[in-house]
Amino acid sequence: MLTWIANRWITILASMASFAVLAFVMWESSPERKYRKLAIPPKVVVSYLMTERGSGFVVTNTSSGPALLYWTTVTVDGTVMPTWADVSAALGSKIMLEFSAIIPADMLKPESQQRIFWVDGDALNNAWQSKDSRVEIETCYCSIFEECWVTTRLTPTPRPINSCLEKPAGHLRPSPQEPVS
């Protein structure tokens, strides 16, 4: 009698698991999901921007799909710089720049822009004039469908990769004077 009840419960649980797997497979292969996956991939671009209010580096999501940002690395002349203060020192900045800089947020909304290093006024342009080409910024981001890419400032065409979960050595961290968000 006891084995009969156990066998019945095992059969019921196995049937429920089978239906759950079937539902997931049907949902994953649905034409609407495939269309959404193809229609809204994010495209992140890293660039140096100058305005009348200031200058610095920004990340922009130029598409209609959200981008999940995982890590950013900054190098000067090929050497990884873990903070923006290190970048400033490597570029030989004689003045201490008062900057606002952040580690990119976890998500970049569609068609939005986020500053990752910004100096008000023209101090950055004066200190780094013609040196910004020595700075390379690389960012790893994924779509909401877990498709991932790496993009760089100097070569902005995204390169697909399997995952952004593992952060590289020297990924960007807040400088001591930067607020941690």
Average pLDDT over every residue of 118-142: 84
* Contacts for 91 with CB less than 8 Å, ≥ 6 apart: 76, 127, 128, 131, 134, 135
Q: Note if the pTM is more than 0.75.
A: no
In this structure, the chain runs to a length of 181
Q: What's residue 62's pLDDT?
A: 93
**Which residues have C-beta within 8 Å of that of residue 36, sequence separation ≥ 6?**
145
pLDDT at 179: 47
Report the mean per-residue pLDDT for the chain.
80
Residue 175 has a pLDDT of 62
| Span 114-124, average pLDDT | 83
What pLDDT, on the 0 to 100 scale, is given for residue 28? 64
Question: pLDDT at residue 37 above 70?
Answer: no
Output the pLDDT for position 130. 79
